[in-house]
DNA sequence: TAGATTGTTAATCGATTAACAATC
DNA sequence: TAGATTGTTAATCGATTAACAATC
């Protein structure tokens, strides 16, 4: 029933989800593809095509039930299930993530933060452990996702280490392309790449004005 | 000479740039589209097509000069010019960005951090100022980019405020779609969206195994 | 010159948009 | 029933890949 879903569609799901939560808060019980398209600034056709890829959640002549849509998207994204994270690298970003309170509402829980240096302030509620304790910890706790927030030069080694400990899901903040087996799931997020793209857009805009 | 460049191409430029720096460090003076394709895990044809969009930097029969490519890409991305940033919102992420030392090498400089609460530890080298001082600061300093790291519910207001102060470039970390005039350049980066996509991939992988 | 490799056009593939029949 | 709106196929558009002539 579910057709092949492209990554282009998947990447829109978080925005659908966020906007649907917002619509529900505003009191909407149902929403049409037209309305959702307007909110998302895409075409109604794309909205229908996107949901069609997952089997279609709507009712002809009526629209889409907001609650049902939210439940389904949460299920497709897998955020209706609990995920336990460990963060490797207690630098600026690692510490920021460890202290972020917003993960809980999406069923993500940070259960430990690792670094070679444990002589630094604690993060409320998240133990800061030494890298030497990593093996033990992973063997005695269920860990779903490892977050890499180390320096780039050690990221590849860390990734290898993590995978050897049977953690097959990596959220990578280091600006390197990790080379892992195909049974390992990696999602990269790169602040510098995002900033470069912003810089490009600024540059283009400047040039277009100068003409 | 420069053809229309799609965002798909632009989004690959940071990776080209990063990998070229790496190749240079390894001692490469020239690189072929084939070699670069191998490193980037894309096709050689795409490499040539991408650079062709910017007018072509190569030499037939030889390849691409690594230095020249790096200089050109840096110029296209605009990271050869200085950008001065202010960060609005001294929460976990805002403070992490303010303390990040890696911006300097790409000519980005954080010149101030703003929050409604200034009763919190300082960040080395970056003044933490009250939101009440924002107008004054912006009027007396050159600010190229405003970074929004506030809570979502105030992000729209902050964006509006920023734009009214004539800052037309926004790097937005809040998971909201900012609605601004078309002369304002916005680049969104969403950690939650990235994490959702990771969750999706994990979920898919799990399902594919269960079959 | 012969070999290598780009520049550039053409072919293919995939994603988006349009159209409309199905149906609530 | 008539109107609204989805589900679904077809048409269009854009991005990627293939091919090869140009040229260093």
In this complex, the answer to whether residue A62 has its CB under 7 A from any atom of chain C, a nucleic strand, is yes
Token readout for B60 is 């037939």
CA neighbor of B13 nearest in space, from A159, A9, A174, A190: A190
- Please tell me whether residue A188 adopts helix, strand or coil conformation: strand
Percent of chain B with pLDDT over 70: 98
pLDDT band at B2 (very low <50, low <70, confident <90, very high): low
pTM: 0.95
Q: Is the pLDDT assigned to residue A6 strictly greater than 90?
A: yes
pLDDT band at A80 (very low <50, low <70, confident <90, very high): very high
In this complex, the answer to whether residue B57 has its CB under 7 A from any atom of chain C, a nucleic strand, is yes
Q: How far apart (Å, rounded) are the C-alpha atoms in residues B198 and B176? A: 20
pLDDT at B124: 85
pLDDT at B198: 98
Residues in chain A: 211
Q: Which residues of B touch A102 (CB under 8 A)?
A: 192
Q: Which residues of A touch B11 (CB under 8 A)?
A: 193, 197
Rounded CA–C1' distance between B45 and D20, in angstroms: 13
- pLDDT (average), residues B75-91: 97
Please enumerate in sequence order all residues whose Cβ is within 8 A of that of B44, keeping only pairs 6 or more positions apart, or say none: B32, B33, B34, B36, B37
Long-range contacts of B161-166 (CB under 8 A, 24+ apart): B161/B134, B162/B88, B165/B134, B165/B135, B165/B138, B165/B139, B166/B138
In this complex, the answer to whether residue A41 has its CB under 7 A from any atom of chain C, a nucleic strand, is no
pLDDT band at A211 (very low <50, low <70, confident <90, very high): low
**What is the tens place of the pLDDT at every residue in B47-72?**
999 999 998 899 999 999 999 999 99
pLDDT band at B187 (very low <50, low <70, confident <90, very high): very high
Is A199 in Cβ contact with B79 (below 8 Å)?
A: yes
From the list A19, A106, A187, which residue is nearest B201 (CB)?
A187
CA distance A133 to chain B (A): 25
Q: How far apart (Å, rounded) are the C-alpha atoms in residues A5 and A18? A: 20
Pick out the nucleotide with least CA–C1' distance to A37. Answer: C17
- The residues in A 46-75 lying below 8 A from B, measured between CB atoms, are none
Rounded CA–C1' distance between B136 and C11, in angstroms: 59
* Closest CA in chain B for residue A189: B194
**What is the tens place of the pLDDT at every residue in A114-172?**
999 999 998 989 999 999 999 999 999 999 999 999 999 999 999 999 999 999 999 99
**What is the tens place of the pLDDT at every residue in A16-62?**
999 999 999 999 999 999 999 999 999 999 999 999 999 889 999 99
Which residue of A11, A199, A204 to mutate against B (max B Cβ within 10 Å)?
Answer: A199
Is A96 in Cβ contact with B95 (below 8 Å)?
A: yes
Q: How far apart (Å, rounded) are the C-alpha atoms in residues A114 and A187? A: 20
Q: Is the pLDDT assigned to residue B210 strictly greater than 80?
A: no
């Amino acid at each position: 029933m579910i057709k092949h879903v492209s990554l282009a569609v998947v990447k829109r799901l978080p925005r659908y989800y966020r906007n649907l939560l917002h619509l529900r808060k505003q009191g909407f019980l149902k929403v049409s593809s037209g309305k959702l398209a307007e909110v998302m600034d895409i075409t109604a056709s794309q909205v229908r095509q996107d949901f069609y890829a997952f089997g279609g959640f709507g009712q002809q002549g009526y629209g889409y039930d907001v609650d049902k849509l939210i439940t389904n998207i949460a299920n497709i994204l897998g955020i209706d299930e609990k995920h336990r994270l460990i963060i490797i690298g207690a630098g600026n970003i690692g510490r920021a993530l460890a202290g972020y309170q917003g993960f809980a509402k999406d069923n993500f829980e940070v259960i430990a933060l690792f670094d070679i240096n444990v002589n630094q302030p604690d993060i409320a509620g998240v133990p800061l452990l030494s890298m030497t304790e990593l093996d033990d910890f992973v063997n005695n706790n269920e860990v779903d996702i490892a977050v890499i927030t180390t320096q780039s030069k050690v990221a590849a080694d860390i990734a290898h280490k993590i995978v050897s400990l049977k953690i097959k899901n990596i959220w990578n903040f280091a600006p390197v392309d990790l080379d892992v087996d195909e049974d390992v799931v990696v999602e990269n997020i790169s602040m510098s790449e995002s900033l470069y793209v912003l810089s490009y857009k600024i540059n283009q805009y400047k040039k277009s004005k100068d003409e």
